[in-house]
């Protein structure tokens, strides 16, 4: 009985710790402000996003590379849960080299921005980013939402409220609780769902969507289990393309490669009038 009591107390402490510290397990911001964008991207400019709850967030706008035909399309890039926009410059340059405009956002609490990250907060940040693109003369149908890992939860929710022309999801998960269940297997998924404050329900948002969607994932991803990304693709309401990168883990260099850029080009071509 004493042993059972100790085990039960330990289990309660584990669940209580998950509840209390969950956002420290979800969000890993680099809080330092990166240098001016022109140090990385010659066609970039520093911009400010204005959220509905009164925050001013630094972001980068990247225009097409010189001499490249302007596609008249913009990519809203919603990053994953770590680092800041300074770590996404290669991919942004690849897109600019193909004639895209790119908005590289940083969430609240990331990249020198004020605030504390949460699912609802990141949604407000994404709304501000989408509005900034529209303010630059882009119709919603000419905007592509690109979500990376946690960012797939951000753009899938954004798309359910403000539909774009297309969506690209890199390493998506079904729900954040399912990702947590893969890491904390002794806690039932139903209990994780109950105690989590930030749900990021990707699969139901995408299943209900008629927007052309590309789903990209690696076969060696241990951070977001491959089976979760597969389920998102299987249930997508309008799957345009499933791109599987053999042997790719969650943070491998391949995610900044031409393969991913080409996938954006293909779906961008498909939605052009």
Q: Each residue of 173-227: pLDDT tens digit?
A: 999 889 877 766 656 666 666 667 778 999 999 999 999 999 999 999 999 999 9
Q: Which among 220, 222, 229 is positioned nearest to 254, based on CA atoms?
A: 220
Within 10 Å of residue 52's Cβ, how many Cβ atoms?
11
Return the pLDDT at 8: 46
Return the pLDDT at 262: 98
DSSP result, 127-190: HHHHHHHHHTT--GGGEEEEEETHHHHHHHHHHHHS--SEEEEES--S-HHHHHHHH-TTS-HH
β-strands 44-50, 82-83 pairing? unpaired
Q: Which among 41, 90, 94 is positioned nearest to 68, based on CA atoms?
A: 94
The mean pLDDT of the chain is 90
Tell me the domain boundaries of the chain. Answer: 2-271
Q: Do the beta carbons of residue 207 and residue 179 sit within 8 Å?
A: no
Over residues 133-160, the mean pLDDT reads: 98
Say how far apart CA 267 and CA 59 lie, in whole Å. 25
* DSSP E strand stretches across the chain: 28-29, 44-50, 56-62, 74-78, 82-83, 101-105, 143-148, 166-170, 213-218, 239-245
Return the pLDDT at 181: 78
The percent of residues above 90 in pLDDT, for the chain, comes to 77
pTM above 0.85, yes or no: yes
CB within 8 Å of 229: residues ≥ 6 apart: 169, 171, 172, 173, 215, 217, 221
Q: Do the beta carbons of residue 148 and residue 171 sit within 8 Å?
A: yes
Within 10 Å of residue 24's Cβ, how many Cβ atoms?
8
Q: Which among 148, 164, 32 is positioned nearest to 88, based on CA atoms?
A: 148
Return the pLDDT at 9: 46
Band of residue 7 on the pLDDT scale cut at 50, 70, 90: very low
Q: Which among 119, 239, 115, 221 is positioned nearest to 177, based on CA atoms?
A: 119
Question: In the predicted model, is pLDDT for residue 162 greater than 80?
Answer: yes
Band of residue 6 on the pLDDT scale cut at 50, 70, 90: very low
Say how far apart CA 93 and CA 104 lie, in whole Å. 11
CATH of domain 2-271: 3.40.50.1820
Over residues 126-138, the mean pLDDT reads: 98
Ramachandran quadrant class, 257 (left: phi over 0; alpha: psi -120 to 50; beta: rest) = beta
Lowest mean pLDDT among 24-38, 83-97, 182-196: 182-196
Say how far apart CA 173 and CA 228 lie, in whole Å. 5
End-to-end CA distance of the chain: 71
- Residue scoring higher pLDDT (102 or 13): 102
Say how far apart CA 31 and CA 136 lie, in whole Å. 28
């Amino acid at each position: 009985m004493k042993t059972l009591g100790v085990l039960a107390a330990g289990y309660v402490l584990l669940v209580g710790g998950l509840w209390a510290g969950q956002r420290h397990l979800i969000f890993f911001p680099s809080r330092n402000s990166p240098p001016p964008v022109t140090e990385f991207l010659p066609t970039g400019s520093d911009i400010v996003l204005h959220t509905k709850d009164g925050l001013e967030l630094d972001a980068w706008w990247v225009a097409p590379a010189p001499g490249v035909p302007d596609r008249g399309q913009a990519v809203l890039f919603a990053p994953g849960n770590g680092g800041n926009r300074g770590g996404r410059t290669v991919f942004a340059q690849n897109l600019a080299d193909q004639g895209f405009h790119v908005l590289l956002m940083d969430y609240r609490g990331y990249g020198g921005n004020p605030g504390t990250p949460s699912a609802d907060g990141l949604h407000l940040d994404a709304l501000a980013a989408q509005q900034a693109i529209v303010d630059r003369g882009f119709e919603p149908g000419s905007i592509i939402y690109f979500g990376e890992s946690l960012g797939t939860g951000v753009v899938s929710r954004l798309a359910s409220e403000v539909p774009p022309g297309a969506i690209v999801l890199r390493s998506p998960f079904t729900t954040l609780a399912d990702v947590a269940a893969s890491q904390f297997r002794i806690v039932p998924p139903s209990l994780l769902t109950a105690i989590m404050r930030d749900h990021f329900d990707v699969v139901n948002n995408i299943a209900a969507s008629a927007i052309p969607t590309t789903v990209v994932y690696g076969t060696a991803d241990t951070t977001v289990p491959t089976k979760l990304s597969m389920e998102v693709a299987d249930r997508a309401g309008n799957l345009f393309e499933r791109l599987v990168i053999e042997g790719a883990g969650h943070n491998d260099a391949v995610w900044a490669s031409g393969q991913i850029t080409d996938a954006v080009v293909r779906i961008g071509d498909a939605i052009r009038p």
